[in-house]
Amino acid sequence: MPFTPIHMGPGFAIKSLLQKNFSLMVFGWSQIAIDIHPLFVILSGRGTVHGFSHTYLGATLIALFCALSGKYLGELGLRIIRKKEYLPINWNVAFISAFIGTYSHVLLDSVMHSDVIPFNPFWKSNILFSIVSVNTLHIFCLVSGLLGIVIYYLIEKPFTNK
């Protein structure tokens, strides 16, 4: 399903490890952007739900777009939610976050959806499909998110008390 928040779980885990070297805002934007094509297909009834956008080639192009636009959108979002201590989002962080976002999205969807062909047009099969159950994949995403949140605040809290 497009725009699934479950993809954010690994994002929280990565944020906990990379801290200020990773933007959850840009990562989240990449999750939305990569699922715009599937949403269009679902609404129109035309095309393959997980087509070009869910290949690593498509994810690369989407990541570039998300890094360039997400830096500014993320900064706007941080201003709106009054988290100015995370400003500005530097360009390296924007690009790293966007690429991790789109590539992880393709990886997770490759396990879950049979119509994802991640290395298309170079390789026409998906060896990751059903490597683990959908339930296991969801548990992984949820647990990584919960652990990421806990680790993030355990690491960040000592620095904010100084």
Q: What would you measure as the largest C-alpha separation in the chain, in angstroms?
A: 56
The pLDDT score that the predictor gives to residue 162 is 47
The end-to-end CA distance of the chain, in Å, is: 43
The pLDDT score that the predictor gives to residue 46 is 94
The pLDDT score that the predictor gives to residue 4 is 75
Q: What letters, b where the CB count within 10 A reaches 16 and e where it falls short, cover 48-80?
A: ebbbbbbbbebbeebbebbbeebbebbbebbee
Residue 96 near residue 21, CB atoms below 8 Å:
yes
Write out residues in the chain with pLDDT < 50, as ranges. 1, 162
pLDDT digits (tens, 9 = 90+) for 37-62: 999 999 999 999 999 999 999 999 99
Total-model pTM: 0.92
